[in-house]
Structure 1
Amino acid sequence: MRIGINTRFLLSSKMEGFGWYTYEVVKRMVKQHPEHEFVFFFDRPYDKKFIFGPNVKPVVLFPPTRAVVLIISWFEFALPAALKNEKIDIFFSPDGFLSLRAECKQIGVMHDLNFLHHPKDLPLRFRWYYNKFFPKFAKKAERLLTVSEYSKQDIVASYGIEPAKVKVAWNGASETFRPVTEQEKQKVRIQYAGGEPYFLFVGALHPRKNLKSLLKAFQIYRERGNKGKLLIVGANLFATNHMEASLVAEEFRSDVHFTGHLSLEELAKVTASALALVFVPYFEGFGIPLVEAMRCGTPIIAGNLTSLPEVVGDAGILVNPFDTAEIATQMQRLFVDEQLQKDLSEKGLQRAPLFNWDFTANAVWSVIEEVGKEL
């Protein structure tokens, strides 16, 4: 088969969620299936490290998809012509974007439908695009994959899709994430938190990540006389600046540190050295930072909505993401209870192997094979 893949999120300068999903899954498929040809479709000059084998042909299509009108141009005009020219049998899109004008069979990964349930979280043009095109993508696709049972049920119910059309394949996490020694932890604490223990958030600074509640909870936690810092790792999405340390009272503002985007290696050290990951989005399709924390043996406090309980299982403390006093109470509880820290660390390490990119890649390939039999 000739398999076309949307690789526009493979960006050497800044890899985020879709990019890592694409990297981990597609790299494995290319290496495990040398008998097939893969055509990678980029929307800008690419890094050669993303060409994972001799069975890969890179193609750059204009224009770079930086705005809604350019996304439409790329997927509905440039891509269909390229798919036909390259004689693609199946097009696989790890970010869920498909082409309504393409003639070949298509498979998309829809990670979640936040834009449907919380449209005001997106700028107006992106809100319009997602809600106009994604229902059509769901129907156009030969098969769909998603990253949690929660997201599957949401897609089925929201778009009227047959359950058999949607396969669940949990995400994994990089093997770079692992426990570190106490000495290594202290070095990271000195670098990022003045030598103090710190709570950690990881994710794009997007409204649904609920940073406002986390910052308010941290202020309550500190007002109760507790010690520690809050480290927030992630870049702004859609160029928003709504999440600022100024949301915290001035006396505690210096205890909140926004790091921006970190390299994978640095993020792994920061995650492994945290007192706990506090991850309380009000909508999430999966939550890879949860698995990264599990791999490190870092305790977890997580929201109890959407997919998060499915991912966390018994390996973390679940809280109402809108109850800032409850979040603060659980932060305080975890700070003082060393046995609880140890118990959650062990449970996380035990649960982490359930989330493996090998499993994800094999699940994706099984769907591609199913569709390939219909050619």
Structure 2
Amino acid sequence: MTFLNKICINTRVLSSSLSGVQRYTLELLDRLQSELQPIAPKKPLHGIAGHIWEQFVLPTRLKGNLLFSPSNTGPLIVERQVVTIHDITPLDHPEWLNPMFARWYQFLIPRLVHKAQKVIAVSEFTKSRICDVASLKPNKVIVIYNGIDERFRPKSFEEIDQVKDALGIADFRYILTVATIEPRKNLQRLLEAWSTICSRLPRDVWLVVAGAKGKDIIFKNTSLDKLPPKVCMPGYVPDEYLPTLYSGAIALVYVSLYEGFGLPPLEAMACGTPVLTSNVTSIPEVVGDAALTVDPYDIDAIAEGIKRLVEDNNLRKELSQKGLARAKLFSWDRTAEVTWSVLKEAATCDGQFGGNIHID
């Protein structure tokens, strides 16, 4: 097969607000922009309209080129396609999602991964779930880990003070969590853990919950009817503030119930911030031994983990050093390099791929 001048990339997802999938797409597009031809609707399309465009209009614009679909979705009629699957939450936990959204992806993902020429998974966990749920042969799925942007690095005290002032958190030290308010982010259990432990911590230590609000009510299915003491919720935090917000924290607490990869723990590590995180799904694979891990369903374990990190200076120093070293293993440049090798071979080998590339 002749290698065509451009590989097309489906960028419909970039019309949505910034999240992990959008960041992945932007990071790869930034590094491969001279090699990839973006294709998107003329105006942002969401919901059913977006899916209709993707399934019926996008294929007509490819002109025989290979399509790279980097965001869990893609047109089912296109075989010359490489698709990235970040997680399969709609198949594993549809109860966490809008029913219509879940049903669509339950229909789409198993068919898409079989139809596509090659599948990229962002972790071994995600690969194993795709293969199990969709009965897909493992050699069709390549694991390529996400990276960390270079802007995530330890910041100066002056920069930290400026961001704390801007967010209204200048008068206290803080434990940080970064999450949208949705069931899998497990904010309810974190708040319950905080309510049990906050009175045993120094008076100037608060919990800062940074992130845009999701559609779910915070206190659904929990015994809490109001925020515990010493909780600050600044809401959405501008992306440019995140490295400094991480750097100023005593620790990041990220006790998500389900992640296909999980960028925040690594981003915090790159800023020198100790991390308390979950021991389930992809997270142990990503953080290695550089974080304190707990059962995210165990409220007492979360509370004790927070207490340890606040009180144990030596533990925080150890995790900070390990985290900085661990974070260096993950580079968007390397992610883009290996992704490009997969795309290039897929574009030239008529559907056959010689080997399983895996970033460690």
Separation of aligned partners in 2, 1:44 and 1:331:
47
Shift, 1:9, TM fit = 2.8
Q: Among residues 190, 197, 201, which one is paired with 1:221 in the alignment?
A: 197
Could you tell me which residue of structure 2 aligns to residue 346 of structure 1? 321
2:29 maps to 1:26: yes
Shift, 1:79, TM fit = 1.2
Which stretches in structure 1 are left out of the alignment for 5+ residues? 46-63
Could you tell me which residue of structure 1 aligns to residue 254 of structure 2? 279
Shift, 1:310, TM fit = 0.6
2:297 maps to 1:322: yes
Could you tell me which residue of structure 2 aligns to residue 357 of structure 1? 332
Q: Among residues 77, 82, 89, which one is paired with 1:101 in the alignment?
A: 77
Which stretches in structure 2 are left out of the alignment for 5+ residues? 351-360
Q: Among residues 99, 117, 134, which one is paired with 1:159 in the alignment?
A: 134
Separation of aligned partners in 2, 1:44 and 1:325:
50
Shift, 1:113, TM fit = 1.1
Aligned ranges for residues 199-278 of structure 1 at < 5 Å?
199-227=175-203, 228-237=205-214, 240-243=215-218, 250=226, 252-253=228-229, 255-278=230-253
Could you tell me which residue of structure 1 aligns to residue 114 of structure 2? 139
Task: Tell me the TM-score normalised to structure 1 length.
Answer: 0.86
Separation of aligned partners in 1, 2:273 and 2:99:
38
Shift, 1:284, TM fit = 0.5
Q: 1:188 to 1:116 in 2, by over 3 A?
A: same
SS state at 2:281 partner: coil
Q: 1:124 to 1:354 in 2, by over 3 A?
A: same
CA contact (8 A) 1:186 1:195 kept: no
Could you tell me which residue of structure 2 aligns to residue 39 of structure 1? 37
2:10 maps to 1:6: yes
Could you tell me which residue of structure 2 aligns to residue 197 of structure 1? 173
Could you tell me which residue of structure 2 aligns to residue 59 of structure 1? none
Q: 1:250 to 1:150 in 2, by over 3 A?
A: closer
Shift, 1:8, TM fit = 1.9
Aligned ranges for residues 76-95 of structure 1 at < 5 Å?
76-83=55-62, 87-95=63-71
Q: Which amino acid aligns with 2:212?
A: A
Shift, 1:251, TM fit = 7.5
Q: 1:160 to 1:137 in 2, by over 3 A?
A: same
CA contact (8 A) 1:109 1:145 kept: yes
Q: Which amino acid aligns with 2:306?
A: M
2:89 maps to 1:114: yes
CA contact (8 A) 2:71 2:84 kept: yes
Shift, 1:242, TM fit = 1.7
Show CA shifts across 1:255-282 (max 9, x none).
2222232222111111111111100111
Q: Which amino acid aligns with 2:143?
A: V
Separation of aligned partners in 1, 2:170 and 2:216:
25
Separation of aligned partners in 2, 1:223 and 1:43:
52
CA contact (8 A) 1:293 1:299 kept: yes
Q: Which amino acid aligns with 1:229?
A: W
Q: Which amino acid aligns with 1:76?
A: Q
Show CA shifts across 1:28-59 (max 9, x none).
1124x4xxxx32122354xxxxxxxxxxxxxx
Could you tell me which residue of structure 2 aligns to residue 52 of structure 1? none
Q: 1:338 to 1:369 in 2, by over 3 A?
A: same
Shift, 1:16, TM fit = 1.8
Show CA shifts across 1:76-113 (max 9, x none).
21112222xxx1410001102111123x5011000111
Separation of aligned partners in 2, 1:10 and 1:358:
20
Q: 1:215 to 1:264 in 2, by over 3 A?
A: same
Q: 1:160 to 1:364 in 2, by over 3 A?
A: same
SS state at 2:256 partner: coil
Could you tell me which residue of structure 1 aligns to residue 49 of structure 2? 70
Aligned-residue sequence identity (percent) comes to 36
CA contact (8 A) 2:146 2:331 kept: yes
Aligned length: 343
Which sits farther off after the overlay, 92-101 or 176-185?
A: 176-185
Show CA shifts across 1:135-180 (max 9, x none).
1011111000011111111111111111111111111122111102
Task: Tell me the TM-score normalised to structure 2 length.
Answer: 0.89
Separation of aligned partners in 2, 1:343 and 1:272:
16
Shift, 1:183, TM fit = 4.1
Q: Which amino acid aligns with 2:12?
A: R
2:105 maps to 1:126: no
SS state at 2:30 partner: helix
Q: Which amino acid aligns with 1:297?
A: G
Separation of aligned partners in 2, 1:124 and 1:293:
33
Q: 1:96 to 1:65 in 2, by over 3 A?
A: same
Q: Which amino acid aligns with 2:336?
A: A
Shift, 1:225, TM fit = 4.7
Separation of aligned partners in 2, 1:6 and 1:315:
35
Shift, 1:15, TM fit = 2.0
